[in-house]
Structures are given as C-alpha cells and as structure tokens.
Amino acid sequence: MYERVIITGGSGRLGRSVVAGFAEHGHDVISIDQTVPGSPVPGVTYRSMDLLDAAGTRALFEEIRPSAVVSLAAIAVPFSAPEDVILRTNAGIAHNVTAAAVASGAKKVIIASSPSIMGYGSPAGWVPPRLPLDEDVTPQPWHAYGLSKYVAEQVAAMFAQQTEDVKFISFRPCYVIAPEEWEGAPTQQGHTITERLDDPALSAVALFNYVDARDVTDFLLTALANIDRVQNGSVFFVGAKDALARRPLAELIPEHHPGLAHLAHGLTGDSPAFSIQKAKEVLGWEPTRSWHTELRTELQA
C-alpha cells in the first residue's frame, strides 16, 4: 500500500538505507534532517529542520500531511556529546516528532529505540534474568543515550494511551552495519567489520549484536504494512539471526562477561544474545543478511 512517509534522520547511516528502500518500494518519501546527503535518492523530497523546534516541526508536518512517520533522528552514539545534551536532544526529538505526527493526521508512527537501553556494560554490574534478551526483559539504562531511547519508547506508549486512531511501534535496531561497511568502510566505532570479528573484545561490549541496515529497512516496510495486527505501543528487537562473532557466544560471553557465564549455555552455534522471535511471530519479518554472506571474502582473508 502506498504511503506518504516522513523519515526523520534520513541523512544518517541507517536513514540513507531506509530512505532508499522506501522510495524503491513506491512510497512518497520526505526525508527530514538537519543536512541533505551528498547523493540524494531520486524522487525523494529533502527538507531541513531542527526537530528540537517543536512549533517548526509541527508546522512542517502539517504542511506535508504524512500518512506515516518513521522517526530515526537522534544523537546516535553514547557519550558522543555531554550527557545532558544527549538526553535533552533525543527525548525532545522523540516527543516533538510524535506530537507533530499525530497533529498532522498521520495514522502510523514508528520510533527508533536501541538495545543499549537494556543496560549491558553498566559499571555497577548487570545481570539480566536470561539470555537471549527479549522484549519482556526490563530495560536498565545506565547512560543518557540509553535513557533517552527508553524515553522515546515511553513517548510512543504515552501517545498510544491518548488516541485509538494512530498506531505506534518502537523498535530496537542492533548495531547497524551500512552496506559500504561490508566493503571495508569503518563502522560507527571506527573499526572495520573484520577487525571486530578478529578481536572479540570490540564487539563484546555490545554482546556481539548487529544488523544490516537493509534488513532494518525491510523490517520497517513490513511493520508499516502490518501495523494493524500489532498491539498499540509494541516494542521489537531488530537484529541479525546470528552474532557478530567467529566463535559461539557460549564460549565468548563467559570470557568477556564472567558474571553472565551461567546464562550463556543456551547460546550455541552462532545464536545471538538478542531474540528476534517476536518480530517473526507478530509481523512475519526475518533478516536475510549475515556477516557470513555480506562481508567480502577477501576482507575476511
């Protein structure tokens, strides 16, 4: 079904793939970001806006009159700005975009969260009730980025309590790998994929999670098409079927996270530490890309 879709953060690492994928599937895409990418996607409308400007954001949304909104815009890396700035920016954008979407008549709103809200890496120690993590495990954010993304989920839940006319979904994309990063471009943390595979400590901090940006795009397209079957305000993990690791997590997690050793026994083979079963059962989505298939063979060698 054709949608007029606003995608915020459309110039970012994930946003570029999402914009391109939605345009390829025939949607009328309006990308809103502070900057326009150097290589814009043909047929996509690009608008510049500071999404912390609540009145300006609402006016722009009411001008565009979208039927759906995908909110990706945020400071995307923990500790990449002062903690108060990250919290204020990400929580503010989540609220302003969601409020503007509702006011402009959008019927479908999808908001990006993050697996980091779960609390892994906490200096005070973190032991979840089980692995793999699923949507029923209570988040325990310990930094402003994680808290801001948890707030974004609660913003969606709050608006879901205010109206029955709009459907809301929050999703937690794992460590996003952009298409060019399979070719050797540096990832978000500055390492290449091969370096992260060769040195497990680089991926251990995030429990070896990852997802291809195009698989996230496929999830969003599937969610948009099937949102009516979803309980309003639902949350989904979105990740690869496997872990970003050459060895089983049953071996790696006890080495890098001794306090979680008793939880890792079930993560056999290439099983990830984050469950995507809910997305499969509720939406019928499954990822189709893996580092085994996407990473250039010569780079692995």
Q: Tell me: the pLDDT tens digits for 88-102?
A: 999 999 999 999 999
Enclosing domain of residue 208: 4-300
Q: Are 41 and 20 in contact (CB under 8 A)?
A: yes
Q: What is the pLDDT of residue 298?
A: 54
Return the closest-CA partner of residue 164 out of 231, 235, 66, 95.
231
Residues of the chain with pLDDT under 50: 301
DSSP state of 120: T
Give the pair of three-digit tokens for residue 219.
């999830």
Q: What is the pLDDT of residue 223?
A: 98
How far the first Cα of the chain sits from its last, in Å, is 43
Q: What is the pLDDT of residue 1?
A: 75
Tokens found for residue 75: 């400071």
What per-residue confidence (pLDDT) applies to 300? 56
Residue 86 · residue 147 · CB < 8 Å:
no
Contact (CB, 8 A) for 169 and 221: no
CA distance 99 to 284: 29
What letter represents residue 263's amino acid? L
C-alpha to C-alpha distance for 198 and 218, rounded to whole angstroms: 29
How many domains are there within the chain?
1
Q: 0.95 exceeded by the pTM?
A: yes
- Cβ distance 244 to 291 under 8 Å? yes
Say if residues 170 and 135 touch (Cβ distance below 8 Å).
no
* Pairing state between β 167-173 and 234-238: parallel
CATH of the domain at 190: 3.40.50.720
Instruction: Write down the pLDDT at residue 38.
Output: 84
Residue with tokens 């479908």: 108
Beta strands 176-177; 167-173: pairing state: unpaired
C-alpha dist (Å) from residue 197 to 3, 52, 191: 39, 38, 10
Give the amino acid at 75.
I
- Residue 274's nearest CA partner among 196, 209, 193 is 209
pLDDT of the residue at 256: 97
Count CB-CB contacts under 10 A for residue 135.
Answer: 16
